[in-house]
């Protein structure tokens, strides 16, 4: 590669994508600047200009759970509290759903994690993909109660349930509670990816509000699923 082109690539990355990974930067160079260059070459250019440092993947201690064999067999659900709009807008929570067979991602932004966001996001998921057989989630107070069973529940020989658990029960969806953050590995890893990629994409698009973020998300998730999943589940 001519040195002039390397210098141009470095100038663009320094000005517009200083905190992007080499892969993400190479995608933006092609998409926005019509410069087709491999991730490896972008990495070399960034490292030589002090824009990227070599890193080592940390060793994982937990055992990976095998993927499910069928779409909709189990879906991981969680809320990600993050500065999604950085300092341009309000704090938001991404209510995310990941299919355990395909890794297909669905999500919506809300201003908090609670009963309404859980119900509304589940409705959106079902309208797109149908009823999952089971939902795997944590012990947030929206999803798991610490109260004792009331008389009605005792008469039905049932454990105390939250409103969300009751709704899932009426829909015939099995509830499975995770005992640790590591157990929700797939959705947690996808959140980490989105906290890097999606935050930067919304920055480039000038997104400043929750409604704008959800409109942007509609298009972004389709492209994200097609790129990282492929196959029949990628829509």
The DSSP code for 181 is G
pTM, entire model: 0.76
- pLDDT tens digits in sequence order for the chain, 235 residues long: 889 999 999 999 999 999 999 999 999 999 999 999 999 999 999 999 888 887 655 555 444 556 677 888 999 999 999 999 999 999 999 999 999 888 899 999 999 988 899 999 999 999 999 999 999 987 666 766 656 666 665 555 566 577 888 888 899 999 888 765 555 567 788 888 899 999 999 999 999 999 999 999 999 999 888 887 754 455 5
Contact in structure between 168 and 175 (CB atoms under 8 Å): yes
Cα-trace Rg, the chain: 21
- Cα-based distances in Å from 122 to 105, 171, 183, 214: 13, 11, 21, 15
């Amino acid at each position: 590669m001519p040195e002039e082109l390397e210098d141009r690539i470095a100038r663009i990355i320094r000005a517009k994508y200083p905190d992007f990974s080499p892969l993400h930067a190479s995608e933006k160079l092609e998409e926005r600047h019509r410069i087709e260059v491999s991730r490896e070459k972008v990495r070399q250019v960034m490292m030589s200009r002090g824009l990227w440092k070599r890193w080592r993947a940390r060793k994982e201690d937990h055992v990976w759970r095998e993927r499910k064999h069928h779409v909709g067999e189990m879906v991981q659900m969680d809320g990600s509290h993050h500065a999604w709009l950085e300092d341009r807008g309000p704090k938001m929570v991404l209510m995310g759903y990941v299919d355990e067979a395909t890794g297909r991602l669905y999500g919506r932004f809300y201003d908090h994690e609670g009963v309404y966001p859980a119900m509304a996001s589940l409705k959106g998921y079902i309208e797109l993909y149908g009823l999952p057989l089971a939902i795997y989630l944590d012990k947030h107070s929206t999803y798991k109660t610490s109260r004792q069973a009331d008389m009605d529940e005792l008469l039905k020989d049932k454990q105390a349930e939250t409103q969300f658990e009751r709704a899932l029960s009426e829909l015939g969806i099995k509830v499975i509670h995770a005992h640790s953050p590591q157990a929700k590995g797939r959705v947690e890893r996808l959140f980490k990816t989105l906290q890097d990629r999606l935050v930067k994409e919304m920055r480039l698009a000038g997104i400043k509000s929750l409604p704008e973020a959800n409109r942007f998300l509609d298009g972004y998730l389709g492209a994200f699923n097609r790129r990282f999943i492929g196959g029949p589940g990628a829509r």
